[in-house]
Chains A and B, each alone.
Chain A
């Protein structure tokens, strides 16, 4: 988070200089003013968006979802993964370990692919933020068009990378061994 703030502050500084070189302090001021106006306009929407994403995260039962997804394979797994990925709440550092724990438990590589792509493209927790900045129309187009992509990714994995399931199980084993060594 701190890193993000520093990087963004730097970007703001660089852009301020760029604006200054083009139109002096007036243009820099205009840039900041546009930012403030934008923020003021979307503030009510942002408040609603954050309330919604918090509530969704509490309402979705992670344990129950894990129990179902962890054992899914075949076409059913692909379908469940495609739809379920978007419901997994949290950032990559929360969701990836959860998905990684499905490797070698019965979920095949195509299911895991569907989950990862589903999480990336159809993340419900991110939907409000996307709608707030890009507008509901553009967001609806984006979600609508990419809705089938997780399933597509899963099918491509199944066809072109048939050995991935076993390789993932091996990776998982290595990871667990490393964790055990680290514990000792």
Chain B
């Protein structure tokens, strides 16, 4: 089966006065057709930067120094800004954390949606645009659509705004939707609704694959098909959600899951990962998790482990660790 997106050896660097910060180090992964892939990791791991690289919105002074991002047989890393404009919002869309700042406060909802259609489908007539706009708002579970269309963003609740942002992301029927912490700024009960909505959309649209970024691994495990664990710009583990949660292999993954509290009727000791995250400016020869790992030995410091498939029974389970062969 062809992959929707194929990233190979992606390297992104930030050059500042402090030196060169390696934000992404040899990141390689595939986004399959019709799947929801979760990016998990803590701050600075590179999950947001990976998605920014895909749509080529890396903030300066960062840039892609190596690698390819193959989408629809073209390398997005080589695309010109003009070519990317055709893709963003239309073929690959993104939703961000804070819906209030994602929407233009000066314009009504109807304008925000129709602008996207005008940009990507310039031949579409006014009636068709209206129809599509109304339809998409129904798709994202909004009622009282006429009222919503006429409202300004600040007149709507956080949950409604995020639904509109999602509507804007799917109105052109994209191939890939990236959701970067879309529920972090929302209340718990709204979060559950938005998560269900995203999952529903992904399941309904056969041509859509979703990349879901979150620091909350429980959240990812509930809805994603596969999860990718990132740390210091590298991918450490990739597997089906169930396997990541129930059979985590990499010491970091285990530490991450162990320190994420879960609602339960029994009390668990709080696990934690000792040590501190090294600076992105340091060049690490061996395993990037070395200074915090409790299962290491000398070879872990000298050589960098490769991402190897140790899955059995046809299920892929990639791990970057010498100890887990």
Answer yes or no: are A and B bound together in one complex: no
Binding site for A on B (CB under 8 A): none
- The residues of A with any CB-CB pair to B shorter than 8 Å are none
